Amino acid sequence: MLTFIARRIIAGVFLLFVISALSYVLLSLPGADVGRSLLGQSASAEAVAAKNQQLGLDRPVIVQYGDWLLHALRGDFGSSWFTSENVLTSISNRLPVTISVMAGVTIVTAVLSFLLGIWAAVRGGWIDRAVQIVSVVGYALPGFLITLILVIVFAVQLRWFPAIGYIDASVSLSGWLSTITLPIIALSIPAIAGVVQQVRGSVKDVLNRDYVRTLRARGLGPNRILFRHVMRNASAPALTVLGMQFVGLLGGAVIVEQIFGLPGIGSMTVSYTTRGDIPIIMGLIMFTVVGVILINLLIDVVIGWLNPKARIAS
Amino acid sequence: MFSRLLYGAQNTLGGAVIALAVALVIGIPTGLLAGYYGSWFDSVSSWVVNLVMALPAMVVLLASRAILGNTVWVLMIVMGVLVAPSFFRLVRGIVVTVRNELYVDAARVSGLRDWRIIGRHILIVVRGPIIVQISLVAGVAIGLQAGLEFLGIGSGSTPTWGAALNEAFQNIQRAPVLMVWPGVALGVTSAALVLFGSSVRDILEEGAGEPPRAVALPAEAPRDADSAPRGTLLSVRDLAVAYARDGGGEKEVVHGVSLDIDTGRILGLVGESGSGKSQTAFSVLGILPQGGRVSRGSITVGGTEIVGLPEKRHRGLRGRTIAYIPQEPMSNLDPSFTIGSQLVEPMRVTLGLGAAEARTKAIELLRMVEIADPERTFRSYPHQISGGMAQRVLIAGAMSCDPELVIADEPTTALDVTVQAEVLNLLRRLQSERGMGVLLVTHNLGVVADICDTVAVMEHGRIVETGTVAQVLTAPSHPYTQRLLASVLDESDVRPPWRDPSTEVTPA
């Protein structure tokens, strides 16, 4: 298990390195005149050249990347070209918002999709059909459309929640809850739709396995078989899908944070990437990729713990 | 408004088409090559795919918009690259399984070129799933693209549904109605695509045949059964088993079976696969598959009527009074739990033993079924032991609560010939030591001759002949029994000295 985790971490670091190199080179490719866009049309050519030199943009891309990498390895991601904010500080200021939304979504998704999926698989009949239809519709509707509907119904019409804004948990716990509830619901619906199908499918599959019949023949009760044996065997594929949903969630967070005006990583991505602010973009990419790698590692560890075969195979 | 929607449709759908085309062009050929040839191309491309899939699409799209400029078309190409992995994975997965199919081997042996095999045999298999995936991805691509437009990141000037929504959202407090139509258009389009895709998939998947639906009908009250004679452990009278049919109604698969087993005796229930042997056995255990039920007749075990018994009381009999030894040893052990915990759990539940006590007894049981290193086996997982060992473990499990009646469903069919003899010997030893009655379901008359006292021959859900082993095997009266017997003799005469194990079919 430990060597497995170690190998995954090494692979993850390598992945980070490749992605950072690729993104840096791609971001620098079009050779947009950063100095010009910083200083505006009226600036003199000398001033623009001086600005570019100050930012180190007159050097070859490889050198620029090497410089960035050396600093990044020491935890220094530089500062924004446009606002001179420190990249690390501005990301970590916004991180708690995104993390609280993501954590909420993950918990809600995991709990609800397991409950619904098991229910549909065991009971069958109209419950099964209803869960299936709801999940297909939830999957089919674009996430931001669901978000807009939620805003119109619960924030604009019913006024149960604020339509926009964020209150930190340290300021007011109820305020924090009221500002993150709708975003969490909005992101959870498509995620549940994806995961519930997998849970239902794998529970149905495991219920038909021979060993379930043998366990019944040994006199074990249906609940014990379902929650101890079926759940354990069915959860590995479901967790894999949950991990894949997480990557999609990061994309969804961009839109949801924008709509609800949450000061998180997602809305930051929108405002900075459109300007081609390489230090900030690089910082954001690194953070999201690290998040994705960590979540997938976590899920693989849980799967290995649940399934002895996967533990040996890896 | 309407004209803007129509015009927007052109842009929105056009964008999705570009993304799809790019994804198909990249994903399908690479998936085919990686799946068909494997080796380094497979490892490299799979690695790249994992890399692309680890990237959050939205972030990449935003970044590429910053670099590549403000045109929808370029963004859609990038999106195509981002969704290409889903096609790659799909195609590769299918091709890997198909590549090893016999008909592909045959085509290769008969000298067809690789590209012809790919074109004629493999593309056909992949076609269906790809169509499904196209509609799913198209739905997602439209959603994603509209999302970008909504953020105001597409080309600001071209009217698309996403842009229309964005505009409406700016005015949400004033005129939320504006959002309705582009929203509906978008929702309906992508929902229609995804629904289409998933229903095609359902049709493809259910081609294999829908399992019968469960019908909660109570069994008819047992008829006045002939009272079982004393000393009879299991008595089955006029048993019928029926399965619910899809369109309603029922299909009877066992028609009025009667048999008796005395304490300490072994009855061989013989017949071809599909003759209803296992259905009869499962009825006694009360573990018929979903949709099946005992529709008529009576089953008594030690004088207790089982048909119509509440599930909870029936469960109390299972494991304790009636035990089950299944056919396939490997698939009958839960892969996620150690052998030990699978032996201990039923003992704790049905006998109420403490953890330490159950553990000691489990080790004892493993020793009893002649497992060399019981402690180690106790700690092992099912995939770490051999088939013969697994069958011993299952026998130990069946013995764990001291049953009076054992139902053994083809207990040796899935095992190697040498192991078969060992397991049969073990069964016979345990049976005589413990004085249990055994219902041995088998298609193998050799096994019957070897260990059974009496035999019942089944054909098409009916018992056609019963008697002592000596009677039935030496002087079979029913033509079906004669045929069965003849086929055993034929087989032993004609069987070639070596058979390829991969082509050997295990009868169910």
User: Is it the case that residue A18 has pLDDT exceeding 50?
Assistant: yes
Set out the domains of chain A in order of their start, with CATH numbers.
90-313 (1.10.3720.10)
Structure token digits, residue A88: 């690390």
Q: Cα separation of A3 and B436, whole Å?
A: 50
Q: Report which secondary-structure segment, H or E, holds B494.
A: helix B479-494
Which residue type occupies A57? L
Three-state secondary structure call for residue B340 = helix
Do A211 and B332 count as a contact with CB atoms less than 8 A apart?
yes
B268 has which bridge partners? B440, B455
Structure token digits, residue B272: 């071809």
Best CA proximity match to A155, nearest among A143, A167, A165, A141: A165
Q: Cα separation of B448 and B269, whole Å?
A: 9
Q: Report which secondary-structure segment, H or E, holds B57.
A: helix B57-68
| Residues of chain A neighbouring B506 (CB-CB closer than 8 A) | none
Do B337 and A254 count as a contact with CB atoms less than 8 A apart?
no
Do A211 and B333 count as a contact with CB atoms less than 8 A apart?
yes
Surface of B (395-454) touching A: CB under 8 A: 397, 401, 407
Do A244 and B66 count as a contact with CB atoms less than 8 A apart?
no
Distance to chain A for B285, nearest Cα, Å: 7
Do A293 and B54 count as a contact with CB atoms less than 8 A apart?
yes
Question: What is the reported pLDDT for B362?
Answer: 92
Best CA proximity match to B451, nearest among B438, B434, B466: B438
Picking from B143, B315, B317, the nearest residue to A221 by CB comes out as B315
Do A218 and B214 count as a contact with CB atoms less than 8 A apart?
no
ipTM of the modeled complex: 0.74
| Probe site for chain B from A214, A230, A300 (most B CB atoms < 10 A) | A214
Three-state secondary structure call for residue B62 = helix
B363-376 b/e with 16+ CB inside 10 Å = b? bebbebbbbeebee
Three-state secondary structure call for residue B301 = strand
Q: Cα separation of B351 and A196, whole Å?
A: 37
**Residue A164, burial from CB neighbour count under 10 angstroms (0-12, 13-18, 19+):** middle
User: Is it the case that residue A310 has pLDDT exceeding 70?
Assistant: no
Q: Report which secondary-structure segment, H or E, holds B194.
A: helix B180-206
Distance to chain B for A134, nearest Cα, Å: 11
* Contact call for residues B193 and B13 (beta carbons, < 8 A): no
| Residues of chain B neighbouring A143 (CB-CB closer than 8 A) | 143, 147
Question: What is the reported pLDDT for A105?
Answer: 92
Do B58 and A250 count as a contact with CB atoms less than 8 A apart?
yes
Question: What is the reported pLDDT for B438?
Answer: 92
Distance to chain B for A186, nearest Cα, Å: 14
Q: Cα separation of A116 and A201, whole Å?
A: 12
Question: What is the reported pLDDT for B495?
Answer: 43
Does B336 contact chain A (CB < 8 Å)? yes
Mean pLDDT of chain A: 83
Task: Compute φ and ψ for B269, nearest 5 degrees.
Answer: -105, 110
CATH of domain B2-209: 1.10.3720.10
With tokens 């109570």, the residue in question is B218
* Contact call for residues B22 and B77 (beta carbons, < 8 A): yes
Best CA proximity match to B188, nearest among B229, B216, B146: B146
User: Is it the case that residue A245 has pLDDT exceeding 70?
Assistant: yes
Distance to chain A for B187, nearest Cα, Å: 5
- Residue in chain A nearest B397 by alpha carbon: A218
Do A244 and B57 count as a contact with CB atoms less than 8 A apart?
no
Distance to chain A for B239, nearest Cα, Å: 20
Edge-to-edge order in the sheet of strand B304-305:
B250-262, B232-244, B292-301, B304-305
Q: Cα separation of A6 and B410, whole Å?
A: 46
What is B326-337 written as a DSSP string? -S-TGGGS-TTS
Do B336 and A306 count as a contact with CB atoms less than 8 A apart?
yes
Structure token digits, residue A290: 């690290």
Question: Helices (DSSP H) in chain A: which residue ranges?
Answer: 2-28, 34-39, 45-55, 61-73, 87-123, 125-140, 143-150, 173-207, 210-217, 222-224, 231-260, 265-273, 278-306, 308-313
Best CA proximity match to B326, nearest among A243, A194, A209, A116: A209
Do B143 and A27 count as a contact with CB atoms less than 8 A apart?
no
Angle at A100 between CA A99 and CA A103, to 5 degrees: 80
| Residues of chain A neighbouring B319 (CB-CB closer than 8 A) | 217-220
| C-alpha radius of gyration, chain A, whole number | 24
Q: Cα separation of B337 and B380, whole Å?
A: 9
Q: Cα separation of B60 and B79, whole Å?
A: 9
What is A95-134 written as a DSSP string? HHHHHHHHHHHHHHHHHHHHHHHHHHHHH-HHHHHHHHHH
Structure token digits, residue A275: 């300007």
| Residues of chain A neighbouring B51 (CB-CB closer than 8 A) | 15, 18-19
With tokens 């019968």, the residue in question is B212
| Residues of chain B neighbouring A30 (CB-CB closer than 8 A) | 67-69
The ranges assigned to domains in chain B are: 2-209, 214-321+403-508, 331-402
Mean pLDDT of all residues in A87-105? 88
Mean pLDDT of all residues in A4-8? 81
- Residue in chain A nearest B284 by alpha carbon: A217
B225-240 b/e with 16+ CB inside 10 Å = b? beebeeebbbbbbebb
| Probe site for chain A from B12, B50, B60, B62 (most A CB atoms < 10 A) | B62
Q: Cα separation of B147 and B131, whole Å?
A: 24
Question: What is the reported pLDDT for B205?
Answer: 59
Best CA proximity match to B394, nearest among B331, B457, B452: B331
| Count of beta carbons in the 10 Å neighbourhood of residue B31 | 28
Structure token digits, residue A198: 């997998």
Edge-to-edge order in the sheet of strand B266-270:
B322-325, B405-409, B437-442, B266-270, B454-459, B462-468
Surface of B (133-152) touching A: CB under 8 A: 139, 142-144, 146-147, 150-151
Question: What is the reported pLDDT for B66?
Answer: 67
Q: How many CA atoms lie within 13 A of B143 on its CB side?
A: 31
Question: What is the reported pLDDT for A52?
Answer: 76
Long-range Cβ contact pairs of B201-209 (< 8 A, separation 24 or more): B201/B129, B201/B132, B204/B128, B204/B129, B204/B132
Question: What is the reported pLDDT for A151?
Answer: 82
| Count of beta carbons in the 10 Å neighbourhood of residue B201 | 17
Do A309 and B383 count as a contact with CB atoms less than 8 A apart?
yes
* Overall size of chain B counted in residues: 508
Three-state secondary structure call for residue B275 = coil
Q: What is the largest CA-CA distance in chain B?
A: 95
* Contact call for residues B212 and B241 (beta carbons, < 8 A): no
- Residue in chain B nearest A246 by alpha carbon: B56
Long-range Cβ contact pairs of B362-368 (< 8 A, separation 24 or more): B362/B396, B362/B400, B365/B396, B365/B397, B365/B399, B365/B400, B366/B339, B366/B392, B366/B393, B366/B396, B368/B396, B368/B399, B368/B430
Helix axes A143-150, B161-170, angle to 10 degrees: 20
Question: What is the reported pLDDT for A243?
Answer: 81
Do A156 and B173 count as a contact with CB atoms less than 8 A apart?
yes
Contacts across the A-B interface (CB distance below 8 Å): 207
Question: What is the reported pLDDT for A306?
Answer: 82
Picking from A30, A142, A308, the nearest residue to B147 by CB comes out as A142
Q: Pairing state of beta strands B304-305 and B405-409?
A: unpaired
- Residue in chain B nearest A33 by alpha carbon: B67
Do A217 and B318 count as a contact with CB atoms less than 8 A apart?
yes
Question: What is the reported pLDDT for A111?
Answer: 93
Do B323 and A217 count as a contact with CB atoms less than 8 A apart?
yes
- pLDDT tens figures, A274-283: 777 888 888 8
Best CA proximity match to B270, nearest among B159, B368, B126, B413: B413
Q: Cα separation of B141 and B129, whole Å?
A: 18
Identify the segments of chain B with pLDDT beneath 70.
1-7, 54, 66-72, 100, 102, 152-160, 170-179, 198, 201-202, 204-230, 488-508
* Contact call for residues B207 and B231 (beta carbons, < 8 A): no
Which residue type occupies B168? A
Q: Which CATH superfamily is domain B214-321+403-508 in?
A: P-loop containing nucleotide triphosphate hydrolases (3.40.50.300)
Q: Cα separation of A146 and B279, whole Å?
A: 50
Do B331 and A210 count as a contact with CB atoms less than 8 A apart?
yes
Distance to chain B for A177, nearest Cα, Å: 23
Mean pLDDT of all residues in A133-141? 79
Q: How many CA atoms lie within 13 A of A130 on its CB side?
A: 7
User: Is it the case that residue A57 has pLDDT exceeding 80?
Assistant: no
Q: Cα separation of A246 and A301, whole Å?
A: 16
User: Is it the case that residue A103 has pLDDT exceeding 70?
Assistant: yes
Does B186 contact chain A (CB < 8 Å)? yes
Q: Pairing state of beta strands B462-468 and B304-305?
A: unpaired
Q: Report which secondary-structure segment, H or E, holds B85.
A: helix B72-99
